[in-house]
Amino acid sequence: MLRTTGPLAALTAILLDAESISPAIVALAEISEIDPDILLPLGELDLESKAEALVQMGLVSDVPHYESLAPDWAWDQIEFENEEQRGLWADSLQHPLPVWLRFARGREVAAKQVLVEEGIDLEQHDSLAQAWSVERNISRAIMGRKAAGGIEIQDLASQCVGLVCQPQRGQRWWDACAGGGGKTLHLADLMGNDGKVLATDSRSRSLRNLHKRLRRSNIEIVASEKMEVEATLPEVQPFDGVLLDAPCTGSGTWARNPDGRWRTDSVVVRKRVERQMNMLDNVSSLVKEGGVLVYSVCSVFEAECDGVVEAFLDQHPEFALSPFTDPLSGQTTEGTLLIKPWEHPTIGMYIARLERI
């Protein structure tokens, strides 16, 4: 079976996604006392072929089951509809995701022209007009161009969060865990730069990144403040909308961060759920009557998704699920959506929209 630690495990993990034999692979092979000449890049193969190749190269003793691609405990954290979905999730962990961009409204032509001039191939999403995918990262030099101010690097699933919020012109919104500000900027863009958006985060570095992105954008309605929302609240009147993109296990991002699956355990899940509940309980008090509370996590674990929302609703009868349209499928939801990484070329994301009644 596949070892989960040491140079051999690192070598095997890199080979699974590799398209060529790099110097790093050669170095790891030599450390592991394996002849680099017998190694093959497996990045373009399907799961079954990858498993067989690992045996042929002597990296594993028998053909591994696809469930070895994630920790044993993780499989019980996800509500799969059938065995096929289990295999599809495993397969999704082995395929690199495209880089997703969001073009600011009214700046699409200039933004697209920047990329075309740089010879970067891009493709517009079928359902989200502002979402474009590229196959490689965009350099700082390109992003530094004035016309590139209308380009934001933001995953497809993350863009769906802003669309579910449905912020309106003139409203006041609070992005309680803003991070680098991708969702903050999207809220402001959807509001037509008309209203107020407060972005808070406990990390100074994240807020500095937000400020950099604000300077290159045309957004003028965002204010920021360093804050730990588990214990503190802004000194303002209730908001029309609050977005809580809560800290989580990041299980929905494991295709982008393969090491994350081996640095997380079931204890971490319990700790994240406790923190998510505390945050949600605290920020909900600043949603005005008739206002919206949106909870999101880049996780596919049931405990962090429906588990948190159901527990919150049991304790807060003043809130109810608010149906919305799935931005990717166009179908009406009952108020929650799990964007499954085995169905879409993006990270996994859970979104719940609640209304204060």
298 belongs to the catalytic site: yes
As a whole number of angstroms, the distance between CA 183 and CA 245 comes to: 9
Residue 132 CB burial class (10 angstroms; 0-12, 13-18, ≥19) = buried
Q: Which of 165, 177, 298, 305 is catalytic?
A: 298
End-to-end CA distance of the chain: 54
As a whole number of angstroms, the distance between CA 243 and CA 283 comes to: 9
Contacts 24+ apart (CB under 8 A), 54-62: 54/2, 54/12, 54/15, 58/34, 59/2, 59/8, 59/11, 59/12, 59/15, 59/34, 60/1, 60/2, 60/12, 61/1, 62/1
Task: Give the bridge partners for 131, in sequence order.
Answer: 102
**What three-state secondary structure class fits 288?**
strand
What's the half-sphere exposure (Cβ side, CA atoms, 13 Å) at 130?
Answer: 23
Residue 337 CB burial class (10 angstroms; 0-12, 13-18, ≥19) = buried
Query: How far is CA 131 from each of CA 97, 154, 164, rounded to the nearest angstrom?
Result: 14, 9, 15
The string over 77-94, giving b where at least 16 C-beta atoms fall within 10 Å of a residue's C-beta and e elsewhere, is bbeeeeeeebbbbbbbbb
Closest C-alpha to 37, from 48, 56, 21, 54:
21
Query: How far is CA 315 from each of CA 30, 284, 310, rounded to the nearest angstrom?
Result: 57, 12, 9
**What three-state secondary structure class fits 236?**
coil
Closest C-alpha to 158, from 173, 143, 136, 180:
180
**What three-state secondary structure class fits 253?**
helix
Residues annotated as part of the active site: 298
